[in-house]
Amino acid sequence: MHQAYGGVVPELASRDHIRRLLPLTDLALKQAGVRLDQVDAIAYTRGPGLAGALLVGAGVASALGMALGKPLIGVHHLEGHLLSPLLSKQPPAFPFLALLVSGGHTMLLDVQAFGQYALLGETVDDAAGEAFDKSAKLLGLGYPGGPELARLAAFGNPAAFDLPRPKMHSPDLDFSFAGLKTAVLTRVRGLGSNLCEQARADLAAAAQEAITDVLVHKTARAQQATKRRSVVVAGGVGANRQLREKLAATLSARGVALFFPELEWCTDNGAMIALAGALRLQAHPEAARAAGPFDVLPR
Ligand code: KG4
Ligand code: ZN
């Protein structure tokens, strides 16, 4: 639906949410073999995200909570991503270091326990997913660009272009990807009509190499600083195969256990929000008696 526009159109997204939310709820309950009145609580994404789409979710969740007399749990979108590895068949145990790489966020977090998250570093401008998406757009690829850029990169030579790796050697754990996007733009403009198929593939490979180099370098540095023995990668960019391979090569050598949620839990999904809600309910049994908004989340 959004592909023709090269990005998500907020108004279309909200209207689509209105159309789909109740049929989807019915389907999910049916597949789980649960009746609506049997659920313990209603968890929904409180944010961050597109206001219109969030409002639809919050509206439906509030109505359900009120009608059923069940507690309502607003979950932070990123907490959902952070806990999504626990949905895996082989989940990590607390504590772990998390690299959270989505279309809107790039963060390194020390996850000490459920609800105890310390932010170690984050992007100062574009997110890693944005760097993938924007580079892909410059190369004439569709949206979302990450998977398409990765596909094209398989045919390219990353050494054909020398792209910058912003902030890679800075002593902090922050990221910056805006300069990389500008560098890709400069190369595309410089080549003009000479941007042949091979040059496009080479540039895609070079961009992917630069993005993953920075992500791996900073994650390795964070592991060294925290001495955590488990590292978890969450968010849509966690689906990137090169990122997975490079992280494995770097961290396995140190004897660190690496966890990647299955692809369906990496990208946005409702199960991770339900899981975060369920864990909160477990941690705060008093919530089970509270019919109405229940909100104890760290901001
Ligand atoms: O977590 P997510 O599904 O949505 C949020 O942003 O919250 O992440 C979407 C991002 C997009 O930028 C998309 O291009 C990127 O994840 N992505 C990938 C791959 N699959 C998805 N980036 C690189 N390689 C992939 N295989
Ligand atoms: Zn997300």
Q: What CATH number corresponds to the domain at position 175?
A: 3.30.420.40
Closest CA to 257 of 239, 232, 221: 232
Q: What residues are designated binding site for substrate?
A: 100-104, 133, 146, 240
Determine the structural domain holding residue 226 and report its residue range: 89-260
- Answer whether 201's CB lies under 8 Å from 152's CB: yes
**pTM confidence score:** 0.89
Q: How far is the CA of 44 from the centre of ligand 2 (A)?
A: 14
* Ligand with smallest separation from the Cα of 264: 1
Q: Is 235 near ligand 1, meaning CB less than 6 Å away? A: yes
Query: How many angstroms does the Cα of residue 265 sit away from the middle of ligand 2?
Result: 10
Report how far apart, in Å, the C-alpha atoms of 257 and of each of 43, 95, 193, 223, 289 are: 31, 12, 46, 11, 39
Which atom of ligand 1 is nearest to 49's Cα? 7
CA 79, CA 50: separation in Å to the nearest integer? Answer: 17
Instruction: Name 33's Cβ contacts closer than 8 Å, sequence gap at least 6.
Output: none
Ligand 2 centroid from CA 275, angstroms: 15
pLDDT digit of tens for each residue in the chain (299 aa)?
888 887 789 999 999 999 999 999 999 999 999 999 999 999 999 988 899 999 999 999 999 999 998 889 999 999 999 999 999 988 999 999 999 998 889 999 999 999 899 999 999 999 999 999 999 999 999 888 999 999 999 999 999 999 999 999 999 999 999 999 999 999 999 999 888 999 999 999 999 999 999 999 999 999 999 999 999 999 889 999 999 999 999 999 899 999 988 888 888 899 999 999 999 999 887 766 665 554 444 33
Q: Report the number of secondary-structure helices (H) and strands (E) in the chain.
A: 10, 8
Residues 161 and 39 in one domain: no
Query: Is 114 found in the same domain as 69?
Result: no
Instruction: Please state the atom number of ligand 1 nearest to the C-alpha of residue 235.
Output: 1
Cβ of 236 less than 6 Å from ligand 1:
yes
Q: Are 235 and 247 in contact (CB under 8 A)?
A: no
Q: Which two tokens stand for residue 157?
A: 């030579």
pLDDT at residue 97, rounded to an integer: 97
Domain count, the chain: 2
Say how many Å lie between the CA of residue 207 and the centre of ligand 2. 22
3-state secondary structure (DSSP) of residue 9: coil
Task: Give the residue from 259, 186, 273 showing the smallest Cα distance to 229.
Answer: 259
User: Does residue 83 sit within a domain?
Assistant: no
* β-pair type (96-101, 230-234): parallel
Strand 257-259 with 292-294, pairing? unpaired
100 located within any domain: yes
Q: To which residue do tokens 């997110």 refer?
A: 127
Cβ(135) – ligand 1 distance below 6 Å: no
Residue 43: which of 289, 287, 282, 275 has the closest Cα? 275
Tell me if 228 is assigned to some domain. Answer: yes
- 56, 75, 191, 206 from 62: Cα distances, Å: 10, 13, 54, 47
Residue 275 lies in a domain: yes
Question: Can you read off the two tokens belonging to residue 154?
Answer: 């398989």
**Could you tell me if 179 and 245 lie in one domain?**
yes
In DSSP terms, 107 is beta-bridged to: 100, 122
Classify 156 as helix, strand or coil. Answer: coil
